[in-house]
């Protein structure tokens, strides 16, 4: 079957793209490994227009309800392994099947960025995690560290300081880089210690995490603790996008119309080189991508 459009991903960008495609009466398919993307793993959200406060899981539920309202055709729990575009036909291959369309929108989002240090892989899910929202309650009353001083790290710290006995917020740069309002809340918290210009060099333990090694201005020391939260940003899920231009961060390059270098293939959300990775921006980019795909089809010869 030849679709008008295939949408890869069901995070804010993919779901919004799907809603717009449904309203345009396009013949389309959504392929997604899961629903919600990073939104489903977010904590408290206070900057999404229309909601003064909503949690990530609740907003994901709203997104899914909106999509289901239109009876959208989608393949859940399928992972895309290859996307190619040749002679006006976009081919999307998953582990189990291959689908074809006249256009495609890549809205596959991003995954957690890893540290690449000794002990990280060994202690993953054994005291080391990449999601404070998911796993924070498991560390109630314990000593933990958050690695990363950007918005992800600050948000994790704000969550954990209400749960954990103590939190060490560790940033490799000379200063924290996240939003000032979050920094101010963290710096006055009695159970939070901020360690700037500090690198984590190893995760320690036997069966579970028991500590980390750090280096501060050339001085090495070991910090005993029971939990490590890696919050250093995201890596775009773009490895399947063969022949599509990407930047040095592996983000898909797009123009203001969400077009890639391959005609008929568009991209939206955190997988792209749009500079700010925010839920509301991803949703807006998803709508733009569908409108661009619709316009592209309207200009093609029958």
Which one, of 291, 286, 285, 281, lies nearest residue 49 by Cα?
281
CB 226 within 8 A of CB 144: yes
Catalytic residue flag (residue 131): yes
Catalytic residue flag (residue 135): yes
Distance CA 22, CA 83 (A): 22
Strands 44-45 and 54-55 come out as antiparallel
| From 44, 97, 134, 245, the catalytic residue | 134
Question: H helices within the chain, ranges in order?
Answer: 12-23, 56-69, 132-135, 151-160, 180-187, 279-298
φ/ψ of residue 206, rounded to 5: -115, -90
Q: Beta partners for 145?
A: 168, 228
Catalytic residue flag (residue 273): no
Give the HSE-up count for residue 36: Cα atoms under 13 Å, Cβ half-sphere. Answer: 16
State the Rg of the chain over Cα.
21
| From 4, 34, 58, 135, the catalytic residue | 135
Catalytic residues: 131, 134-135
């Amino acid at each position: 079957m030849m679709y008008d459009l295939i949408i890869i991903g069901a995070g804010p960008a993919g779901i919004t793209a799907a809603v717009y495609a449904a309203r345009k009466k396009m013949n389309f398919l959504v392929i997604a490994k899961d629903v919600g993307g990073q939104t489903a793993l977010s904590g408290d959200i206070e900057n999404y227009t229309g909601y003064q406060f909503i949690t990530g899981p609740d907003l994901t539920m709203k997104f899914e309800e909106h999509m289901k309202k239109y009876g959208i055709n989608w393949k859940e729990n399928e992972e895309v392994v290859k996307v190619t575009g040749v002679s006006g036909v976009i081919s999307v291959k998953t582990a189990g099947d291959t689908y074809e369309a006249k256009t495609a929108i890549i809205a596959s989002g991003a995954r957690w960025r890893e540290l690449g240090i000794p002990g990280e892989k060994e202690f993953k899910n054994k005291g080391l995690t990449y999601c404070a929202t998911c796993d924070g309650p498991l560390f109630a009353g314990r000593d933990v560290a958050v690695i990363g001083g950007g918005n992800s790290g600050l948000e994790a710290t704000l969550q954990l300081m209400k749960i954990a006995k103590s939190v060490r917020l560790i940033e490799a740069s000379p200063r924290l880089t996240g939003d000032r309002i979050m920094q101010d809340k963290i710096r006055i918290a009695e159970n939070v210690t901020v360690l700037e210009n500090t690198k984590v060099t190893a995760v320690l333990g036997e069966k579970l995490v028991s500590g980390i090694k750090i280096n501060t201005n050339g001085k090495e020391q070991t910090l005993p603790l029971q939990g490590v939260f890696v919050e250093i940003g995201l890596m775009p899920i773009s490895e399947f996008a063969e022949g599509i231009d990407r930047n040095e961060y592996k983000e898909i390059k797009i123009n203001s119309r969400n077009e890639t270098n391959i005609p008929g293939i568009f991209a939206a959300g955190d997988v792209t080189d749009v500079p700010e990775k925010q839920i509301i921006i991803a949703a807006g980019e998803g709508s733009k991508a569908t409108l661009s795909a619709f316009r592209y089809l309207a200009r093609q010869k029958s």
